[in-house]
A and B are shown apart, each in its own frame.
Chain A
């Protein structure tokens, strides 16, 4: 392969808004906080930003799922753009960042602002998390699902919690994975969140707490589900040649994974124990000479704990089916373990920033700015991955230079 396009891209700044439960702030206000922070972090001014990309962009759908679209941010900051895109149909949330890499690598833009914002906590109000397509007042309200939702919602599978539970149960069946093993991911997230002042849930959690939690959809309990929050995350992707004089030493994008080689479906995927992550992970390693053993820190999507386990297998940190033993007890994935995992508490305890939080944290760790939760030994290689089910995208990052 000729040099992968992503080597011509780098990350030059990151930013995040206030993060919390039911902050009650305008979602565009939060989004701009993150975007302006990222621009300033890179040492850029807004007149140098000539591209924008986001996931999923302006759309309807579940309340609070998106805090702002491209045009709102462009207009609010009066940006003069050479290129932009925002879409739901791409390789997971971080597909938006891969788009930015492509844009700078092929010369459509120099500095691309990438953002993702959510306000699900405020939008869902004091009620519990709702199912897809269900009006808050109960009943169907005349809504008739079509498209992919036609094949799940009528069978009372109203949530990704159900769809991922189907995958998890199959994994439990084929490989003997247990709840005690899966707990390793949730407990690790909580331990790390205690060291992250911006995390939502920071109180200690024990294995007994986990096992006693109420079931959502077997085998997933409450603590296997991430916590909705309000917040926005942004980063700047720049072309290498124009990144040299900026405030920070840039973080390299060594390889990206965006593949999906099975049916794009939650239930029609050929091997439900793997999901699309299998193909994205495999593709990423095809584009680099680095190997899983080179990775110093892993930030892997945990919209549900089982997805992280599947990413660990997809990215080759353990053999297929060995994810349970790999995370059991949590030693291996702790901050001082062989593979520090979800060092900011992930979405399970840190808050559901929906994908971009993992890339943000990978950059924090590579820049050595993790504070109390900083992984020792100056990590040089990190992986950030997001998405589950038929969505999956990942990036392999190399330390600042």
Chain B
């Protein structure tokens, strides 16, 4: 079994009461989005009102964390010095709602195995016990 690779450098987001459910949901192992009470729409990024029905009745709700790679890119450029180039940036479409999409990284697999249509599940990367980044790994057990 290989050692878990060192966590790469990441810019930490500014955590606020508005987005805390998202950036710290991973502490409880949950990927959370705001969800509208009346019409059940998931809303991302967080907003004061539901964009579908304009209700203010929004509350964080956990999703399954399962999704599909909608598109991806393998970043080769060393914007920040790090040992894991190239790494995969992806837009992941969550299972719960067709337009519930998230830019993230696909990890725990060779970068060149990432492809559009790949089934993935959320995994969290904790930085400083402050932010739990929702990343994605293959569901087919390709992780080694």
Q: Using a CB–CB distance below 8 Å, which chain A residues touch chain B? A: 128, 130-131, 133-134, 138-140, 143-146, 150-159, 161-162, 165-170, 173, 214-220, 267-268, 270, 272
B84 CB to nearest A CB, Å = 10
- Pick the contact of B71 from A153, A159, A173 — CB < 8 Å? A173
- Pick the contact of A215 from B76, B90, B91 — CB < 8 Å? B76
Residues in A whose Cβ lies below 8 Å from that of B74: 215, 217-218
B11 within 8 A of partner (CB):
yes
Known pairs A219-B73, A268-B44, A270-B99 / 7 extra A-B pairs, C-beta < 8 Å: A151-B102, A155-B133, A157-B75, A158-B79, A173-B71, A214-B76, A215-B74
- Pick the contact of B105 from A156, A168, A173 — CB < 8 Å? A156
Docked-complex contact B75 and A156, CB < 8 angstroms: yes
Provide the bound-state CA to CA distance between A76 and B14, in Å.
Answer: 39
| Total number of residue pairs linking A and B with CB closer than 8 Å | 117
Docked-complex contact B80 and A144, CB < 8 angstroms: no
Closest to B135 in A: A155
Count residues of B near A (Cβ-Cβ below 8 Å). 36
15 contacts between A and B (CB under 8 A): A134-B11, A143-B11, A146-B13, A146-B14, A150-B19, A154-B131, A157-B75, A162-B89, A165-B73, A166-B73, A169-B72, A173-B116, A217-B77, A268-B101, A270-B99
B103 within 8 A of partner (CB):
yes
Docked-complex contact B86 and A156, CB < 8 angstroms: no
Closest to B89 in A: A157
Docked-complex contact A134 and B19, CB < 8 angstroms: no
Docked-complex contact A155 and B13, CB < 8 angstroms: no
B53 within 8 A of partner (CB):
no
Closest to A169 in B: B71
Provide the bound-state CA to CA distance between A139 and B15, in Å.
Answer: 19
B17 within 8 A of partner (CB):
no
- Pick the contact of B14 from A144, A158, A215 — CB < 8 Å? A144
Interface class of chain A by DSSP: loop
Residues in B whose Cβ lies below 8 Å from that of A150: 13-14, 19, 45
- Pick the contact of B76 from A153, A167, A218, A267 — CB < 8 Å? A218
Residues in B whose Cβ lies below 8 Å from that of A216: 75-77
Residues in A whose Cβ lies below 8 Å from that of B135: 155
- Pick the contact of A162 from B75, B101, B104 — CB < 8 Å? B75
6 A-B pairs with the lowest CB-CB distances in the bound complex, closest first: A131-B79, A165-B73, A170-B71, A144-B14, A158-B79, A215-B76
Provide the bound-state CA to CA distance between A144 and B76, in Å.
Answer: 23
- Pick the contact of B80 from A134, A166, A169, A268 — CB < 8 Å? A134
B120 CB to nearest A CB, Å = 14
Q: Using a CB–CB distance below 8 Å, which chain B residues touch chain A? A: 8-14, 19, 44-45, 70-77, 79-81, 86-87, 89-91, 99, 101-105, 116, 131, 133, 135
Closest to A267 in B: B103
Interface hub of A145, A156, A218, A267 (most chain B Cβ within 10 A): A156
Docked-complex contact A157 and B14, CB < 8 angstroms: no
Docked-complex contact A156 and B91, CB < 8 angstroms: no
Docked-complex contact A169 and B116, CB < 8 angstroms: yes
Provide the bound-state CA to CA distance between A106 and B75, in Å.
Answer: 47
Residues in A whose Cβ lies below 8 Å from that of B102: 151, 267
Provide the bound-state CA to CA distance between A58 and B13, in Å.
Answer: 26
Residues in A whose Cβ lies below 8 Å from that of B9: 139-140
Closest to A143 in B: B11
Residues in A whose Cβ lies below 8 Å from that of B12: 140, 144, 154
Provide the bound-state CA to CA distance between A218 and B87, in Å.
Answer: 10
Known: A146-B13, A218-B76. A170 touches B89 (CB 8 A): no
- Pick the contact of A166 from B11, B89, B105, B133 — CB < 8 Å? B89
Provide the bound-state CA to CA distance between A156 and B70, in Å.
Answer: 18
- Pick the contact of A169 from B10, B44, B73, B105 — CB < 8 Å? B73
Residues in B whose Cβ lies below 8 Å from that of A144: 11-14
Residues in B whose Cβ lies below 8 Å from that of A165: 73, 75, 89
Docked-complex contact A272 and B91, CB < 8 angstroms: yes
Residues in A whose Cβ lies below 8 Å from that of B10: 154-156
Closest to B12 in A: A144
Docked-complex contact A218 and B11, CB < 8 angstroms: no
Residues in A whose Cβ lies below 8 Å from that of B14: 144-146, 150
Interface hub of B12, B72, B86, B91 (most chain A Cβ within 10 A): B91
Known: A155-B105, A215-B86, A217-B76. A138 touches B11 (CB 8 A): no
Docked-complex contact A138 and B76, CB < 8 angstroms: no
Provide the bound-state CA to CA distance between A145 and B99, in Å.
Answer: 24
Provide the bound-state CA to CA distance between A138 and B14, in Å.
Answer: 19
Docked-complex contact A145 and B75, CB < 8 angstroms: no
Provide the bound-state CA to CA distance between A168 and B74, in Å.
Answer: 12
Provide the bound-state CA to CA distance between A155 and B134, in Å.
Answer: 9
Docked-complex contact B8 and A156, CB < 8 angstroms: yes
Docked-complex contact A162 and B73, CB < 8 angstroms: yes
Residues in A whose Cβ lies below 8 Å from that of B8: 156
- Pick the contact of A157 from B44, B99, B103, B133 — CB < 8 Å? B103
Docked-complex contact B131 and A166, CB < 8 angstroms: no
